[in-house]
Amino acid sequence: MTRVFRRSLMFLIAALPATFALSALTLPSLAVAGELDQVIRDVQPKIVKIHGAGGYKGLEPYQSGFLFSAEGHILTVWSYVLDTDYVTATLDDGRRFDAKLVAADPRLELAVMKIDATELPFFSLAAPAEAEAGARVLAFSNLYGVAVGDEAASVLHGIVGAKTKMNARRGVFQTPYDGPVYVLDAMTNNPGSAGGALVDYRGRLLGMIGKELRHAESNLWLNFAIPTAELGPTAESIRAGTYVRRTADQQQNKPERPLKLELLGLVLVPDVLERTPPFVDAIMAGYPAVAADIRPDDLVLFVNNRLTQSCRAVRDELELVHYADPVKLTLLRDQQLIEVTLRAATAPAAAPLGGKLP
């Protein structure tokens, strides 16, 4: 205990000069001009503990959610936990309700649940607050299902580590969502956390804590939340009954007739390794690559500004380009970056059966 005390003291001592040095800066005025514990007390009643399906093979049968209407609309993540007719929502005061699924959006991986109650405290999704990297935040959730009955959800403190786009690099995180996210400097990536609320130090809702997610390549866990602005319109349209279900079609962006290396006259080195560097092996006479002055031994670094770390990645990126559209290649030649834009001169051969030209 003394050690903890000493450390806290060190914090304060370390922080003091900074505080004085920055006193000249304009600070945002506090909605709650009091203490942080008041902020927390105001948020807690809006957090819901959700129990449903799971309980085997490491799939915990619980998650978190929060109220966004006085009539008992709950926003949470769409997951296996909700995949049953018997989902319960336990409020901060210990009241337990049967929760009915109103609708779910697979792309945002969100679900709206409804309980029969009125005059509940809630977060408004209108005029959402936003935060920048470095902003101090609080994450409310029932991580590890540790809170039961009328126990309050757990609070983690942290900061917004970065505001970025999910899947800024393709295939890195396995989630259909590819919009903006808050990457959090707080350990929210835990069982039961998903669906919890991320708020700023004034208690304003910033977003919903996302599902447990792992970097497909480095195995690094990602702590993140989806901003309110991304969720609000869908959640509100579900509540209003105007929601039209979309499908999470990962292929939706893929053109029916994509660009191929052959159409550009580009031959890469034989793809023999897991990550064969995409060096140009040869150029085919009479093809656009000749006119663009691409040369053997050039290394293809980017296709349309997306990093291509291997021959396979080059092919995958071209799959997303319609054959008639221009494509920008960034090449490395003698330690110089060279950008070229080229377009296929001919259409790909029609599919043998039932192929239709656009």
What is the footprint of other proteins within residues 256-285 (CB under 8 A)? 273-278
Tokens 């208690």 — which residue?
Answer: 203
- C-alpha span between 188 and 184 (Å, rounded): 8
Query: Which of 64, 69, 79, 190 is close enough to bind other proteins by CB under 8 A?
Result: 190
The region of 24-32, 80-88, 105-113, 232-240 touching other proteins under the rule CB under 8 A is 24-32
CB nearer to other proteins: give 24 or 126.
24
Q: What are the beta bridge partners of residue 111? A: 76, 104
Give the CA radius of gyration of the chain: 26
For residue 24, state whether it binds other proteins (rule: CB under 8 A). Answer: no
CB nearer to other proteins: give 307 or 345.
307
Report the site for other proteins in 96-135 (rule: CB under 8 A): 132-135
Rounded to whole angstroms, what are the CA distances from 21 to 9, 12, 28, 204, 229?
Answer: 19, 14, 17, 28, 34
- Whether residue 321 contacts residue 302, with contact meaning beta carbons closer than 8 Å, is answered with no
- Whether residue 292 contacts residue 340, with contact meaning beta carbons closer than 8 Å, is answered with yes
The region of 97-105, 246-254, 256-264, 335-343 touching other proteins under the rule CB under 8 A is 335-343
Binding mask 197-236 for other proteins (x = CB under 8 A): ----xx------------x-xxxxx---------------
Report the site for other proteins in 280-319 (rule: CB under 8 A): 299, 301, 307-310
- C-alpha span between 255 and 259 (Å, rounded): 9
For residue 39, state whether it binds other proteins (rule: CB under 8 A). Answer: yes
For residue 82, state whether it binds other proteins (rule: CB under 8 A). Answer: no
- C-alpha span between 256 and 355 (Å, rounded): 10
For residue 338, state whether it binds other proteins (rule: CB under 8 A). Answer: no
